[in-house]
Structure 1
């Protein structure tokens, strides 16, 4: 093991800083098959993501998944790619800029630097940690932008941070925010989004809270993610003051399943296909588990699942965007940082 260290320490350096590592899942560098293959290989090789014996999974991944899914995923990414690049990367950078401005206004210019990292792809967590170290940051607050803790996302981020820091001779102080699914600022921001939708489009027949799915066995083996999702939905409904018929209009479901295993249910796509025959004609979908709009929200929810609902006989379908760089969302991030100082 070769350890990295600062060899020319200046004893007159200013007091070490606290910095923020703002992290999200990741995105390919470009919407093409080569970039997708590289990104998917890193993502799907993580044992947190796929809990299958490594030798067996290596064969499945390299012989069946990467050769075919890379091209298919590239076409989907091309549909949501913008002049600013990947929506997830663009939004996360805007979130970081807004958060930096808010922290600068309260604590002083460059007092608490904010750096973006992606769990998979670029910019890497290792590179972001190095960048913070070069800024004289010796205390790091890691904020993975996953409201509901899940081993697949939040736990994997911790793995990557700890793995990178294993090479450090001078390990920084570390505070790791492992979720905020019940935080008042988060719930208030979600409620604000729902109220704005209703003001513009009226009360839907059903409001669908769609979260990213995980295999059901993860829940059975102790992952709290499913329970945290249900808690978020309940807290939003309570904060809105909905009771009786209004509360009955709310459904929690799970999207983006993969493979043949049983995943968390009910499934979002199956639910949307079944609603029109029950007399449901107006549906709104919100995705509280995503802090920024990405392929799963912009293509799968806003486009693909809309088609399922309309083709089944639905009439009005709207996707309520993620909190993104909404001021209420930035306020929440700032609150999380201040609570960790």
Structure 2
């Protein structure tokens, strides 16, 4: 393939970002809680409230990151995913040079710096690919808003396609389903015969008001959980059931329920061991390595659960990376716009914050 003839495609992977050193914890939290997509209060109040929440969260957050050596592995894992995706795209795409870039929302590399990197590379088109399987205005929506503002500021004017969500993408479902099946088998082998199991599909939570306002996240989490259960035939196992729950509550509002804590308490009351699936996360970071592996495991022990097993995230799983490449290739075929799984069906009428539904209304 001649470089002179190659069509250049910049693939931008969006993720949350995380502190890369202890000194970054406070500014990372400030960036998070200063985001109007996260803290939905009137602008005059937001700086004061975000400063208050940040000050209260610094100490527990620092303790958590100290358990990880003072920083998060999220950036390194995202870089590895970008490299793996680049390798697959290089094999699949003819006469196209695809380069992956990483844009983090609340810590480096931030969107503005990445936009400037993309401008210098001079692509013919851009594919925006969030590493959030389920769409939320607080994650993908916020990242896309920031990217578009920075692209306008730095005159990045090229054909751009945006993936809004991919919660039923076959590679994503297949990778998690296989990891879940392996974990269920390991649980059955290690527990006394006859122990009943419960799959807890644990996703990052949201304030209930955001979902009520039209955010499709909860619906998409539940759909992904149902697809994973179907993929392994969970309903055929007489000793196993499943519950969707939500972790990581961060503000005083009422959040989606049941919380993961509530789900663990219910499992203890029912004398069921649990197999926890972090289905909204595709790499390891504090919510999996600390919250699930340490905090909730300790809670499970205190509650007297018969067993606690955590399913790993897909990270570099071949099916998962292949699924990401399918999304990119689908966008290159379908063209600019906002799509789900390379299709064009918007969420239901109740989910008015779905970007495709907003597009249809416009």
**Given the two structures, how large is their TM-score scaled by the length of structure 1?**
0.89
Equivalent of 1:337 in 313, 328, 335: 328
Equivalent of 1:276 in 239, 244, 268: 268
Residue 132 of structure 1 deviates from its aligned partner by 2.0
3-state SS, counterpart of residue 165 of structure 2: coil
Equivalent of 1:181 in 167, 170, 173: 167
Superposition CA RMSD, Å:
2.1
3-state SS, counterpart of residue 210 of structure 1: strand
Aligned residues: 324
* Matching of residues 91-170 of structure 1 within 5 Å: 91-107=77-93, 111-170=97-156
Call closer, same or farther: CA 1:140–1:44 in 2, change over 3 Å.
same
Moved more, 89-98 or 53-62: 53-62
Match of 2:39 in 1: 50
Match of 1:229 in 2: 221
Match of 2:242 in 1: 250
Distance 2:182 2:237 in 1: 20
> Residues 237 and 247 of structure 1 are in contact (CA less than 8 Å); yes or no, is this contact kept in structure 2?
no
Q: Deviations over 1:223-249 (max 9, x none)?
A: 111111111111111121222555961
* Matching of residues 76-87 of structure 1 within 5 Å: 76-81=64-69, 86-87=72-73
Match of 1:200 in 2: 186
Equivalent of 2:208 in 210, 216, 219: 216
Q: Deviations over 1:142-190 (max 9, x none)?
A: 1010001111001001111111012133512111100100112221111
3-state SS, counterpart of residue 296 of structure 1: helix
Q: Deviations over 1:248-289 (max 9, x none)?
A: 611110111123211111110122123222221x21101110
Structure 1 regions of 5+ residues with no counterpart?
A: 1-11
Distance 1:246 1:100 in 2: 42
Match of 2:280 in 1: 289
3-state SS, counterpart of residue 285 of structure 1: strand
Residue 14 of structure 1 deviates from its aligned partner by 5.3
3-state SS, counterpart of residue 27 of structure 1: coil
Distance 2:96 2:168 in 1: 30
Which 4+ stretches in 1 moved above 4 angstroms?
Answer: 12-16, 244-248
Match of 1:5 in 2: none
3-state SS, counterpart of residue 310 of structure 2: strand
> Residues 33 and 54 of structure 2 are in contact (CA less than 8 Å); yes or no, is this contact kept in structure 1?
no
Structure 2 regions of 5+ residues with no counterpart?
A: 190-195, 333-362
Match of 2:61 in 1: 73
Residue 129 of structure 1 deviates from its aligned partner by 2.0
Call closer, same or farther: CA 1:72–1:91 in 2, change over 3 Å.
same
3-state SS, counterpart of residue 234 of structure 2: coil
3-state SS, counterpart of residue 166 of structure 2: coil
Distance 1:70 1:276 in 2: 32
**Given the two structures, how large is their TM-score scaled by the length of structure 2?**
0.84
Match of 1:4 in 2: none
3-state SS, counterpart of residue 280 of structure 2: coil
